[in-house]
Amino acid sequence: MEKQFRKTKMKSRVCWIVAIILALAALASAVLPFFFMVINSFKGKFEMLTKGVFALPDKLNMNNYQEVLSGGFVRYFGNSVLVLCVSLLLILFISACAAYPLARFKFRLNGFIYSTIVACMAIPIHITLIPVFQMTKSLKLYDSIGALFGPDVAFALPISVFILTSFMAGIPKEIEESAEIDGCNKYRMFFTIMLPLAKPGLSTLAIYNGVNIWNEFSFAYTLTQSPKNRTLPLAVWDFQGQYSMNTPMIMAVLTLTVLPMIILFVFAQDKLVKGMTAGAVKG
Amino acid sequence: MKNQSNTLSGRRQRSTNIAAFVFLLPVILLLTVFIFYPIVDSFIISTYKWNGIAAERTFVGVSNWKKLIGDRDFWFAFRNNIIIMVMSIIIQIPIGLAEATFIEFAGKKATICKVLWFIPMLMSSVAIGFLFTYALAANGGMISAVSQLFGGGNIDLLGNKNTALMTVIFVIAWQFIPFYMVYAMAGYTSISEDVYEASLIDGATKSQYFWRIALPLLMPTLKSAAILSMVGSLKYFDLIYVMTGGGPGTATELMATYMYKNAFAQFNMGYGSAVAAGMFILITLLSLVTMRAINGKKEEE
């Protein structure tokens, strides 16, 4: 018995050592590219080539950052913030409006409308790219920030409605019932009771959609052209044309684009992780 | 009908219907304008030859579709999508599960792993694409630097036809492993604490617990992870477009990048729409088949 016990203990210790070695390898591969990006963003153009890519920079050289920030980066950042705020408000309001009747009302088309909206989750955006491009041109919205709101909001809606409907269906009905007896109509009920109660669901959705819109590339790339109207994911694209051989400069641009996410991660890790995986509720 | 609308319940149902309509109007409007109409329009445009700029477009019937069916580049792109799909499922989900299991077994001590393993998810596909374009560059990249350390020369993984696709698959894995880790961690939290304790009391080792108890309980989670990965891989675009643009040659071409090039680089909107519509049909078919296969199995159980 004693021998048997010792044997399993040995075996489990070996297992742990192997597991820890593999974990460290995974750690290195997850962090190394990130490390590469950050340390090289502080180097001079030739410093990286002469000293090697993994060497620490001589000093915290902020020149790259200064140049990027004075070279129009702020404009991209501002555009992204604008697109984010407007789209997010619209998404949250419209999807809450849709989720309320889908979760609460009894009417004939309920099931049909719900499954149609949910089915839209699987549609690849590329099937809509050419028609939306033509539409944007004929509405004279091409190459303006205004062109991005519609597609950004529309493609966020199916999953948002899906998540919010199941969230609202989980809210107890008692408050509404007593409000209804007091003569509250459906519209007032939505604004005064449902919206406040749905706040946790809305905040998860805000993070999920916020991250997606912040990173959105296809529509922004197709529907805008001039740097003054482009969003952050395209900043790298445009800067690359300017500094293609200057790796540290590109790394500085990349680090700056990731910075908001890092700040969010440091201060609200749990919320961010929960929000980012909200879309994965179901297959 | 008239009778019904006069009764109290009939009137109430009518006011409910009106309220439902008002609340659902914005969503229906937006989906119609930006999703349903464009899908129909794509099929319409696919019957024309059109550069997208000129007002005139020539009707060509099904000739774009005929071309698509015989287009080796398109089917090669589809093949690449399938390879990426299969490899993503094989690589990402087991590693994500392994990481989640490690965190589950190691407890608080593994918090640092949890935090650092999540880092790739903070970057957008575009940023990751650019980062790896430079990190894997032959000149001044990480791999070349390591190779030089051992006396080797520069290595150009993305520029080589034979290694480009595999390299892209590993970058995609780098991006998405944290997602499946968090996903599997959520699966673990749904297994009740009692199950774990009961199995320990019964004398199960950790590996027995994992293989015999946790894994079967996590199966539904892993299945939906596989579906997510599948649908995602078929739609993939940003990262590859940024990193290789489908090249070298057509080595990493995907359906989406092929469509984009036809429509927006060669301004062949008609054929681009045919590619997009073909992609839509293939993705819908594959999703339906997979869903049915998985749901069918559920019924058997």
Dihedral sign for Cα B125, B158, B168, B249, please.
positive
User: Angle B191-B197-B200 (CA atoms, 0-180°, nearest 5)?
Assistant: 120
Residue B170 has pLDDT above 90, yes or no: yes
B183 Cβ contact partners less than 8 Å away, ≥ 6 residues apart: A277, A280, B96, B100, B221, B225
For the residues A83-99, what does the mean pLDDT come to? 95
Nearest Cα of chain B lies from the Cα of A257 at a distance, in angstroms, of 8
Q: Is the pLDDT of residue A280 over 70?
A: no
- Amino acid in the structure at residue B54: A
**In 10 A of CB B260, how many CB atoms?**
24
Q: What is the pLDDT of residues A128-144, one digit of tens each?
A: 999 999 999 989 989 88
CB contact under 8 A, A127 and B279: yes
For residue A281, is pLDDT > 70? no
Specify whether the CB–CB gap between B260 and A127 falls below 8 A.
Answer: no
pLDDT digits (tens, 9 = 90+) for A66-82: 888 887 889 999 999 99
Question: Do B30 and A135 form a contact (C-beta atoms < 8 A)?
Answer: no
Q: pLDDT class for B298, splitting at 50, 70, 90?
A: low
State yes or no: cis peptide before B220, omega within 30 of 0: no
Over the range B58-89, which residues count as b (16 or more CB within 10 Å of their CB) and which as e?
eebeebbbeebeebeebebbbebbeebbebbb
- Residue B109: pLDDT over 60: yes
pLDDT over threshold 70, residue A279:
no
Which of B34, B141, B256 is opposite residue A128, by nearest beta carbon?
B34
Q: DSSP class of residue A191? A: I
Q: What confidence category does residue B301 fall into, taking pLDDT thresholds of 50, 70 and 90?
A: very low
Q: Closest Cα to residue A125, out of B290, B39, B51? A: B39
Selected residue with higher pLDDT from A280 and B238 = B238
Chain CA centroid to CA B240, Å = 13
Nearest alpha carbon to residue A165 among A106, A97, A211, A107: A97
Q: Lowest-confidence range among B39-43, B71-75, B110-114, B267-271?
A: B110-114
Chain B residue numbers with beta carbons less than 8 Å from the beta carbon of A236 are: 126-127, 130
Q: Taking CB atoms and an 8 Å limit, are B13 and A107 in contact across chains?
A: yes
State the CB neighbour count (10 A cutoff) for residue B128.
27
Give the count of beta carbons closer than 10 Å to the beta carbon of residue A123.
20
Per-residue pLDDT reduced to its tens digit, A139-192: 998 988 889 999 999 999 999 999 999 899 988 888 888 888 888 888 998 998
The token duo for A170 is: 């989980």
CB contacts, 8 Å: B205 with chain A? 8, 12
Alpha-carbon distances, residue B189 vs A14, A62, A282, B183, B192 (angstroms): 27, 44, 16, 10, 7
Strand partners, B48: B59
pLDDT band at B296 (very low <50, low <70, confident <90, very high): low
Q: Which of A37, A122, A217 sits opposite B287 (nearest CB)?
A: A122
Per-residue buried b or exposed e for A15-54, using 16+ beta carbons within 10 Å of the residue's own CB: eeeeeeeebeebbebbeebbebbbbbbbbbeebbeeeebe
What is the interface pTM, i.e. ipTM, of the complex? 0.87
Evaluate whether A237 touches A221 at the Cβ level (below 8 Å). yes
Residues of A in contact with B24 (CB under 8 A): 97-98, 101-102, 113
Å between B146 CA and nearest CA of chain A = 10
Q: Specify whether the CB–CB gap between B128 and B175 falls below 8 A.
A: yes
Calpha distance A250→A262 (Å, rounded): 18
Q: Verify whether the Cβ–Cβ distance B284 to A122 is below 8 Å.
A: yes
Task: Kindly identify which residue of chain B lies nearest to residue A248, measuring between CA atoms.
Answer: B134
Give the tokens for residue B47: 């019957």
Q: Contacts by B11-16 with C-beta closer than 8 Å and gap 24+? A: B13/A107, B15/A186, B16/A105, B16/A106, B16/A107, B16/A186
Assign B257 a pLDDT band (cuts: 50, 70, 90): very high
Cβ separation B26–A8 shorter than 8 A? no
Tokens of A196: 């406040």
Other Cβ atoms less than 10 A from the Cβ of A230: the count is: 24
Q: What is the pLDDT of residue A186?
A: 87
Inter-chain touch A247–B178, beta carbons under 8 Å: no
The predicted model gives B52-67 an average pLDDT of 84
Task: Say yes or no for a CB contact (<8 Å) between A48 and B279.
Answer: no
**Nearest residue on chain B to A49, judged by CA atoms?**
B140
pLDDT for residue A25 is more than 50: yes
Residues A272/A207, Cβ–Cβ less than 8 Å: yes
Q: Is the pLDDT of residue B83 over 60?
A: yes
Contacts of B99 in chain A (CB under 8 A): 23, 26
Residues of A in contact with B126 (CB under 8 A): 215, 217, 233-234, 236-237
Of A30, A102, A190, Cβ closest to residue B119: A30
pLDDT of residue B1: 47
Bridge partners of B19, per DSSP, are none
Contact B73, B272 (CB under 8 A): no
**B105 vs A contacts (CB less than 8 Å):** 19
Note whether B62 contacts A: Cβ–Cβ < 8 A. Answer: no
Distance from CA of B162 to the nearest CA of A (A): 23
Q: What is the mean pLDDT of chain A?
A: 87
Choose, out of B97, B123, B235, B298, the residue to mutate when testing the contact with A (most A CBs < 10 Å): B123
Backbone angles phi, psi at B241, to 5 degrees: -60, -40
Rg (CA), chain A: 25
Read off the pLDDT of each residue in B74-103 and give the average, rounded to a whole number: 94
Residue B220 clears pLDDT 90, i.e. is over it: no
How many contacts (CB atoms, under 8 Å) link A and B?
A: 242
CB atoms within 10 A of CB A176: 18
State whether A127 and B39 contact (CB < 8 Å): yes
The arithmetic mean of pLDDT across residues B141-153, rounded, is 78
Q: Is A105 exposed, middle or buried (0-12, 13-18, 19+ CB in 10 A)?
A: middle
Nearest to B25 by CA among A190, A156, A98, A90: A98
Q: Residue A53's closest CA among A43, A63, A62, A61?
A: A43
Q: A127 CB contacts (<8 Å, ≥6 apart)?
A: B38, B39, B42, B276, B277, B279, B280
Q: Provide the sign of the torsion angle of the four alpha carbons B233, B129, B38, B40, taken in this order.
A: negative
Distance CA A91, CA B117 (A): 30
In angstroms, what separates the C-alpha of B256 from chain A's closest C-alpha?
Answer: 7
Nearest to B92 by CA among B297, B293, B232: B232
Q: Do B26 and A94 touch (CB under 8 A)?
A: yes
Alpha helices for chain B (secondary structure H): 2-6, 8-31, 37-45, 63-69, 72-106, 111-118, 125-135, 142-149, 164-190, 193-201, 206-208, 215-235, 238-243, 255-260, 269-300
CA distance A76 to chain B (A): 15
C-alpha B129, offset from chain centre: 16
- Record: contact A277-B95, CB cut-off 8 A: no
Tokens representing B248 are 């070298």
Say which of A150, A261, A282 has its CB closest to residue B224: A282
Give pLDDT, residue A283: 34
Choose the closest CB to A94 out of B19, B27, B182.
Answer: B27
- What is the pLDDT at residue B274? 95
> Within the 166-195 window of chain B, which residues sit less than 8 Å (CB to CB) from chain A?
174, 177-179, 182-183, 186
User: What's the gap in Å between the CA of B298 and the closest CA on chain A?
Assistant: 14
Residues in chain B with CB shorter than 8 Å from the CB of A134 are: 41, 45, 52, 269
Residue of chain A whose alpha carbon sits nearest to that of B234: A124
Diameter of chain B by CA atoms? 91
